[in-house]
Every structure is written in C-alpha cells, then in structure tokens.
Amino acid sequence: MRVATRLDLTSADVVADPYPHFAAARVRGAVQWHDGLGMWLTFTHAAANAVLRARTLGRVWSPRWPDEPMPSFALIHVNSLLENEPPVHTRLRRLVAAAFARGHVERLRPRIAELADRLASDVADAGADGSPVDLIATFAEPLPVQVIAELLGVPEPDWPLLRPWSNAIVKMYEYAVSPEQRAAAETASAEFVAYLRALVAQRRTAPGDDLVSSLIAETDSDGARLSEDELVTTCTLLLNAGHEATVNVVGNGVTALLTHPDQLAAVRSDPALVPTAVEELIRYDSPLQLFERTALVDTPIGDVQVAAGTKIAALLGAANRDPAVFADPDRFDVARTDNPHLGFGAGIHFCVGAPLARVELQTSLHTLLHRFPDLTLAADPERRPEFVIRGVRSLPVTIKRGTS
C-alpha cells in the first residue's frame, strides 16, 4: 500500500525545525510518496541507509530546465564523482582518493589550526568592546573556504572569489529556485570553471604540493588520468561540498552547544570529548538533509518497490533522529559514542573528503572553546530559508574582554 506524505519541505515551520515533522511522519511509514516532488522519501535510518547503499539506485543527472541552457553548470555535474555510477564513478573515485592519499590531510593539519586561530583573533578583535560578533561571517564561513583554497593551491589574494561562487551554485540544489538564482548559478559556474582551467594549466607547468598537482599527476593502473573537465569538476565539488557542509556543521553545532549549557560545559571540561562532540553535531542537526537517487531498475526499499526511473530521496536528518538506532534521539549528547549517523553518506558515495572535514571541524571546535571560554549568544540565530542545505545564516555572539 502506497503511503503518501503531505510534508512541505519549503514551509517555514519545516525549515525552522524539521525534526518533529519527521517524527510525526515516521509513524506512518518508513518510505512515503510525495506527490508534489514526484518521488519517494525515507523517514528511517534503515531506509535511508538502504537508499545510499543500493547499487540499483544511481545518481542520474539531467537538466531541471532543459529549455534553459546552462552549459557551465551542466559541465560541473556531468563529470562529477557525485553524479556518476560505476564504472565511471569507480575510475573517478580511485583517482581522486589516490590523490588525497598523498598526505594532503596531514599536510593541512597544522595550517588548519593556524587559519582557525587567525580567524579567532578576528572574532576577538571585533568583540573586544563587548559588541556582538557574527560568528558565521567572521569565523565559520571563511575557514572552510580558506582550507579548500589551501588544499587546491589557490593563491591567497584569490580566496575572496571562492565563497560567492559556491554560494551561488549550491542554491540550485533547493526545490524553489528563482530565474535570478539560476542565472547567478550559471555565471558563477562559468567564472569558476574558467578560473580552474587557468589554475590547472599553471600546475601542469609548475606543480606544487597542492591537490590540483596531485590530481594532475595521478594515473590509474592502466595509465588513465583525469581529463581537464574531470579535474575542474572535482575541484568544484570539493569547494561546494567542503564549504557548505563545514560552515553549516559549525553554525548548527555552536548554536546547539550555546543552547545546551550542560553539554557545552561537558566538552569544555574534557577536551577529549571534542571528536565525539563533532560527530554528535553532525547527527543532531544535519547540514545536508536530503540526498536524491534514481532507480536504475525496479528496487525494493523497505516495503516499497521503487519503479525504474523513479526518484527516491534519503532524508538524512530523519535518519539521524531515528529512535530505532539512536537512544533518546532528540537529546543532544556530546558524549554519545554509539553514533552511526549518515552525515557523510554511505556506500560508494561516502564523502571522499570526510577525513579532512573531521580535522577541520575538530580544530574549529577546539579553537573556539579554547579562545572563548565565555562565548554566549547575543541574539537568536537567523536560520537559512532553505531545507536541503540546513544552516545558520547569522550567529550573533559576545565575548568578554580579555578572553582571547
């Protein structure tokens, strides 16, 4: 029997706090049909995990507006590791993973700490007189962009270019997209592609210790390399995914900590809790709420048969609050150790940058706790108005003079 859901993913109530809506829907079924979206949605951890791991479900990318040419936006998706399945995905991931394995995470570890400390000093300077500081604009947004820039070898004077490009492109992953946003996404894609082609050309003649140089040099067992379009697409994916996920984990996570003083006190008193706290931040308020796949053949998910050609979306936020998997799932617990969250995905599309993201998030949390022992909310955080990518647009905080 087909169970239908009326959950409106664009409603203000759902965007503000989707978790009670997920819980109410979950009692009606693990997988439900959404007429408005024309796809199935999952509401349990088991169903979402099955969607992420099923080899008969794929990422089948096609233009949402076929009559509206967006060649640059299309280019960074057609060639994407995220938007392809085996055998193309297998080849791309093997090359990208091998390039990452050349020591880039360890190379960046001290640099991430340096960048985080430098941005914390900006926060300290801005809030030294007791005035509110927006932690998103001053710390959480700049840090992941700077880290990705360091990873790719983007010169520091060009760092300000990256964040606007990423912000414009990721607006396209929501379900309500205006013509103006589509135009901005295509412009940003074209500018970023042109920039990356120039960077790749430069690294071909003058390799460095950056990931772009490693991606250029990496060869498969049969001697195959990434094409220029695949190089450009991989770099774009790393910026968009790495920037958006990290800034939103920090924003959502610091909000959770500041509104749960007992948990904030616990992680302050025991810095060894930072790694488990980071995993709980990802679980408790997931930065990515939805991941779509398409049935390549008829595929059973739970009690539902997903017909070939039909889409099904894993609701990651619902999966990460499933009481069948997480004890007291609506409780924020920085010491939670039994935490198989799906924040980095699962299966063959598990986030290739997860090790780097964990280093960045742990360093961010440690830096903020160490530098600002009296960090407090100055006003209610302002939520982003989108559902798929869940985050905080502004996070006003105050610090006490002398705590930096």
Residue 221 has which token pair? Answer: 């067992």
The pLDDT value recorded for residue 6 is 86
The pLDDT value recorded for residue 403 is 43
Residue 324 has pLDDT above 90, yes or no: yes
Residue 51 has pLDDT above 70, yes or no: yes
Instruction: With residue 181 as reference, give the H or E element that holds it.
Output: helix 179-205
Residue 244 has pLDDT above 90, yes or no: no
Q: How far apart are CA 362 and CA 282, in angstroms?
A: 12
Residue 1: inside a domain: no
Residue 34: inside a domain: yes
Residues 144-154 have a mean pLDDT of 94
What are the Cα distances from residue 128, in Å, to 98, 132, 135, 137, 251? 45, 9, 14, 17, 21
Amino acid at position 6, single letter:
R
Residue 343 has which token pair? Answer: 């924040």
Give 222's pLDDT tier (boundaries 50, 70, 90): low
Residue 375: which CATH number? Answer: 1.10.630.10
Cis amide prior to 18 (ω within 30 degrees): no
Domain of residue 376 covers 12-398
**Left (φ > 0), alpha (ψ -120 to 50) or beta: where does 57 sit?**
beta
Contact predicate 33/303, CB 8 Å: no
The pLDDT value recorded for residue 372 is 96
**Phi, psi (rounded to 5 degrees) for 256:** -60, -45
Residues 290-309 have a mean pLDDT of 95
* Overall domain count for the chain: 1
The pLDDT value recorded for residue 1 is 64
Q: How far apart are CA 174 and CA 152, in angstroms?
A: 27
pLDDT digits (tens, 9 = 90+) for 362-376: 999 999 999 999 999
Residue 4: inside a domain: no
Average pLDDT of every residue of the chain: 93
Residue 177: inside a domain: yes
Residue 335: inside a domain: yes
Q: How far apart are CA 353 and CA 152, in angstroms?
A: 13
Residue 404 has pLDDT above 90, yes or no: no
Give 221's pLDDT tier (boundaries 50, 70, 90): low
Percentage of the chain beyond pLDDT 70 is 98
Residue 2: inside a domain: no
The pLDDT value recorded for residue 194 is 97
Residues 198-207 have a mean pLDDT of 94
Residue 187: inside a domain: yes
CA angle 341, 359, 161 (to 5 degrees): 105
What's this model's pTM, rounded to 2 decimal places? 0.91
Residue 213: inside a domain: yes
Instruction: With residue 40 as reference, give the H or E element that holds it.
Output: strand 39-42
The pLDDT value recorded for residue 402 is 45
